[in-house]
Amino acid sequence: MGPTDGETRPGRYDYCPWEFWSRSGKEERAAQLAHQAELVKRFAAEGGTAEFGDRVFVSPWAGVHTDSLRLGDRSYIGAHAVVTDEIAMGRNSTLNPFSTARGKVVMGDGVRVGAHTSLLGFNHGFAPDEPVHRQPLTSKGIVLGDDVWIGSHAVVVDGVTIGDHCVVGAGAVVTKDLPAWSVAAGSPARRLRDRRDTTTAGPGAPRPGPAAGSLDTRLERFARRSREQAGEVLGRCRPDGSWVERPGASPTVRAVCDAVEIADLLLGGPPPGEDRDALVERLRALQDPVTGLVAEFGGPSPSLDDHSAMYHILCAGYALELLGSRFAHPVRAVTELPADRLVERLDGLPWRTEAWRSGNWVDGAATALHFASPGSSPQTATLFGWLLTRADPRHGLWGAPDAKEGWRQPVNGFYRTSRGSFAQFGLPVPYPERTVDTVLTHSLDPAWFGPDRGTACDVLDVIHPLWLCARSTGHRAGEGRDWARGQLERVLARWQDGAGFSFALEPGERPDRLAGLQGTEMWLAVTWLLADHLGSGEALGYRPRGVHRPEPARAGLGRAD
C-alpha cells in the first residue's frame, strides 16, 4: 500500500483509492488505520489537528502537511496529492492522485476533484516595488459546494466559490465564482449552461456526464412523478366511496388513514373527493367513548389486546392531526391504566418470541400518552423507566434473535418501540452504538434483504433506527449510508405508474406484491428517510408529517411542542 507496509512504490489502492474499503483485506485496513492514527499524532505534536470520518483513505504516498485537516466519511486522498495548510472535506469527497489543495479549502459533500487539478487557496502579492518572493501571502480561501465535479488538470484560484451541483471541465481555470448548477469550461472558465438543462447544449458543449444522473435529480423526478399521479393512485382505491387497501379488498380504518397521509404528503390537503370536515367527523366517530380505542370496521369492541386497535391509535390519531383535528376522547384504556398495571402489561408482552407485536403495543401506548397531554404523567414516567432498564446493553434492543428469523423480530420491535417512545418524545435511545451494530448486522441478512427482497416494513425497521441513532452518534455511519443508497436505488425503480408501490417490491400476484395504499404510504416515507440519511431529503420536496414524521412530537418529557 505504501511506506507503512514496506513497499518501495505505491500500490493499486494508492491510485484507485475508491476501491480500498470494498476490496482490501484485514491487514491492509489495519495498516491504513494505523497511518491515519500516525497522522493525528504527528499533527498534534506540530500544533495542528486531523479528524478522519468512517471508511476514509489517505494514501501514505500523499504529501499531507496541513495545519488542520478534516475528512468526512468515505472521503479519500490519492497518491502524490499535495495537501497543505487548512483543508476540510465533507462526506464522499475526493482528491484524486496528483491533485493539489493548498491554503484554505473547504469542500462540501460528494465533491470529486480530478487528477492533476490544483485548488490554490492562497496568493502572492506582485507589486512592482519588491521581488515576488519577498511579498506577503494572502488567503481568502476556496469553497466548493455539495455535489461538485472538477475535471482533471483544472485550476481553481484563491477567493473562488463554486456553488452546489457544479461541473467544471477538464483543463479549466476558474477565476470567478460559479453559481449553483453551472457547467463551466475554458481558460478563464465561463459558464456554459445550467446543468439541469439537458436539451439546449449545442455542438461541442461539454456533456454533464455521470453527474447528470445525480441522486438529487432522480429524487426530484421521482417526487414530481408521484405528485402528478397521486390523484390516480388514490382514486383506484376508492371504488364506491369507501377506502380500500387495493382494488377488490374490503374497507379498513388503515386504508382511510393511509389515503389521508398520501394526500397530505403529495397534494398538501385531504384526499381528492373528500370533504375535510365530513372526513374528520367520520374518523372521530370511530372512537369508543369509554376506552378511547378505535375498532376495525365491523370488528368486535376494541381492547388493549387488540393489535389493530393499538395501531389505530397511531394512524387515526395522526390522520386527524393532518386534517387539523384530534381524537374526541382521551385513550383512557392507556391514560387511566395504573402504573403497576402498566408494568404488568409490559412484562407480559412476548418480547422474546414476538418482539414486533410487543413493539406495536408500546408504540400505540406511547402515542396515546402523547395525545393525552403536553406534559409528563405517571404512566409516561413508568413507561420510559421500564424501557430504559430493560434495554439490553449488549445489543441495544428489547427481545432476542431466534433461529428462524434471526434479528428480524427484535429489530422490528425496536423500531416500533422507539418510534412511539424515544423518537416521538425527542429523547435519545439508551445504547445507540450497540443498536447500530445490531441493525447493520440484520441489514446484511440475505433472508430479508436483496435485489428482490425487503418489504416496506423490513427496510423501515433498519433505516429508521439508523437515521434516529445518527442524531446522537456517528458510529459506522458510512456503512449505514452505503446500505441506504443501495435500498434507495432499488425503491426508485419500483414505482408503478398510476398505482404507486406494493408493500413487497417483488414480482408476483400475492396481495402484498400488488400496489396499494399501505405500500405507497410506507415507501414514500421510507424513501424520505433513506434520502435524508444520505443528505438528500430536501430534493424530494416533501417531508412526512404523520406516523413517520422525523421531528419529535414534543421536545422532551414535561414540555409541550
pLDDT digits (tens, 9 = 90+) for 127-144: 777 887 777 778 899 999
Determine the pLDDT at residue 196: 74
Residue 497: which residues within 8 A CB-CB, separation 6 or more? Answer: 225, 229
Q: pLDDT by residue (tens digit) across 84-104? A: 999 999 999 999 999 999 999
Determine the pLDDT at residue 560: 29
pLDDT score of 252 more than 90:
yes
Determine the pLDDT at residue 554: 54
- Phi and psi based region of residue 497 (left: phi greater than 0; alpha: psi -120 to 50; beta: remaining): beta
Average pLDDT over residues 196-202: 53
Gap between the Cα atoms of 300 and 290, Å rounded: 15
Residue 205 confidence class, pLDDT cut points 50, 70, 90 = very low
Gap between the Cα atoms of 208 and 197, Å rounded: 10
Residue 427 confidence class, pLDDT cut points 50, 70, 90 = very high
Gap between the Cα atoms of 314 and 515, Å rounded: 23
**What are the cell numbers at 106?**
473547504
Residue 7: which residues within 8 A CB-CB, separation 6 or more? Answer: 1
- Is residue 308 within a helix (H) or strand (E), and if so which, with residue range? helix 307-322
Determine the pLDDT at residue 215: 82
pLDDT score of 274 more than 90:
yes
Determine the pLDDT at residue 212: 45
Determine the pLDDT at residue 445: 93
* From 124-138, 343-357, 420-434, 501-515, the region with the lowest mean pLDDT: 124-138
Determine the pLDDT at residue 171: 94
Residue 508 confidence class, pLDDT cut points 50, 70, 90 = confident
Q: How far is CA 419 from CA 256, 324, 365, 431, in A?
A: 22, 22, 11, 15
pLDDT score of 165 more than 50:
yes
Q: What's the whole-number average pLDDT of the chain?
A: 90
Q: In this structure, which long-range contacts are made by residues 76-81, counting pairs with CB atoms below 8 Å and at least 24 apart in sequence?
A: 76/17, 76/18, 76/20, 77/17, 78/14, 78/15, 78/17, 78/115, 79/2, 79/10, 79/14, 79/15, 80/10
pLDDT score of 31 more than 70:
yes
* From 36-40, 182-186, 291-295, 555-559, the region with the lowest mean pLDDT: 555-559
pLDDT score of 115 more than 50:
yes
Average pLDDT over residues 50-64: 94
Determine the pLDDT at residue 561: 29
Average pLDDT over residues 313-334: 96
Average pLDDT over residues 514-532: 96
Q: What are the beta bridge partners of residue 273? A: none
Average pLDDT over residues 468-490: 89
Determine the pLDDT at residue 28: 92
* From 85-94, 276-285, 288-297, 444-453, the region with the lowest mean pLDDT: 444-453
Determine the pLDDT at residue 210: 37
Determine the pLDDT at residue 3: 56
Average pLDDT over residues 317-323: 97
Residue 556 confidence class, pLDDT cut points 50, 70, 90 = very low
Q: How far is CA 549 from CA 38, 224, 542, 545, in A?
A: 43, 20, 11, 4
Specify whether the CB–CB gap between 362 and 342 falls below 8 A. no
Determine the pLDDT at residue 555: 41
The closest of 456, 430, 423 to 551, measured between CA atoms, is: 423
Residue 198 confidence class, pLDDT cut points 50, 70, 90 = low
